[in-house]
Amino acid sequence: MPFPSWCAGSGGASIADSRTEACRITGLILTTRRTVNGNTQITGELSVDVYDYTYGSADLPNWIHQIGVAPWTGWGDAVNSTVTGTFSVAGDCVTDGVSSFPVQSLSPMNNVSRVGEAGARTTATAVNAIGYCTTTWSLSVLPTGYPVARASSAMNEMSCDNAIGANLNRPARVGCVVPWYPAEVIYSMSRYPSLATHVDLAQSSGLPGGTLFDPLNRNVNDADINQNRNLACGDAPSIAGKSCDEYPLATTYQGLAFGGTRRTFTGCNINAPTGVTGPTGVSACMITATENSAQGALMAAFYYDYRVLGGDPYRVGIGS
């Protein structure tokens, strides 16, 4: 698999484009030196970009770590170098299959990656197990006529588990994801108009959960969830065909059990202030009861599909 274009935005830090893939670009400089009659001189330099790309599946217990070494400028003896690598793992995992990084020349300096690829497999397969793993490529760069230079590049972005459980007739299974990436659940405006409208209004007023940089975090503690619901909707009126919806969801760490005050919007039939803005607190609104009920099934399927465990971030988007 080629390195994805979005990896170019890494800036030296690990970034992700989905719940199942992460990437990082770092730089290395190879410097060659010779000492003659006690006088040491630099005889060459080679600058390379190192691409680390790891990708897996929410339905599989294994994943891939690719590495690419791309030379882009240099001079002197350092340019005449080769690169190869060996793969290792540490943590709740083992190597999976054969790693491959054959000896490859770093000339010409064309910014084309010299690629290695290897797999890892989680050992966190018992029911309720959650595992973490670091995968490392150890690089050996050999300038012709000089000692070998070594460097390493590690990724620990994947977490694997058998803790998410089943979803209706879909069985529990082991899978691996990037746990810090906020996947997005979509509330359809056409299918769930009152639910989606309320969430859209709540986010527009400043409440979190709509962006990568301001996500919600799943809470699986029953006492917290019940307190969130009671504070948001415990005094909701009885209206035929409607029930109380709270946003952020009661199943998050952004609920009223963790601070803030309740607010609402005109027409929501909730006794709370309107016109309130800002990132703290919770909005409550009476919405169509069938849509509110459907939200539970929608969220359960979302958690299953993306392996969103307790504490994991996620986003809520509004779709057509």
- Structure letter (DSSP) for residue 170: B
Percent pLDDT > 70 in the chain is 100
Q: What is the pLDDT of residue 2?
A: 72
Q: Do the beta carbons of residue 216 and residue 314 sit within 8 Å?
A: yes
Which strand (E) or helix (H) includes residue 48?
strand 39-55
Report the amino acid identity of residue 67: I
pLDDT band at 212 (very low <50, low <70, confident <90, very high): very high
> CATH 2.60.40 spans which residues of the chain?
5-161
Name the residue among 284, 238, 231, 240 with its Cα closest to residue 258: 231
**Please, are residues 46 and 139 in contact by the beta-carbon 8 Å criterion?**
no
Both tokens of 273, joined, read: 């202030």
- For 124-163, the pLDDT digits (tens) are 999 999 999 999 999 999 999 999 999 999 999 999 999 9
Question: Which token pair is 157?
Answer: 């972005």
Whether the pLDDT of residue 238 is over 90: the answer is: yes
CATH class of 5-161: mainly beta
Structure tokens of 51?
A: 């691409």
Q: What share of the chain is helix, strand, coil (3-state, %, to 5)?
A: 15, 45, 40
Is the torsion defined by CA of 217, 8, 177, 18 positive or negative? positive
The amino acid at residue 142 is L
Q: How confident is the model at residue 308 (pLDDT cuts 50, 70, 90)?
A: very high
Residues 293-313: what's their mean pLDDT? 98
Cα gap 106→101, rounded to integer Å: 13
Cα–Cα distance between 116 and 111 in angstroms, integer? 16
pLDDT number for residue 98: 86
pLDDT for 1 equals: 61
* pLDDT band of 303, cuts 50, 70, 90: very high
Q: Are 199 and 184 in contact (CB under 8 A)?
A: no
Predicted pLDDT of residue 71: 98
Query: 47-91, pLDDT tens digit by residue?
Result: 999 999 999 999 999 999 999 999 999 999 999 999 999 999 999
* 248 in Cβ contact with 207 (< 8 Å): yes
- Return the CA Rg of the chain: 26
Read off the pTM. Answer: 0.94
CB 52 within 8 A of CB 24: yes
**What is the distance between the alpha carbons of residues 270 and 226, in angstroms, rounded to a whole number?**
19
The mean pLDDT value for 239-248 works out to 98
Sequence-distant (6+) residues with CB within 8 A of 1 are 53, 55, 64, 66
Mean pLDDT of 8-28: 96
Find, among 97, 123, 215, 100, the residue nearest to 176 by Cα. Answer: 123
Q: What is the side-by-side strand order in the sheet with 93-95? A: 15-18, 21-36, 39-55, 62-76, 114-122, 93-95
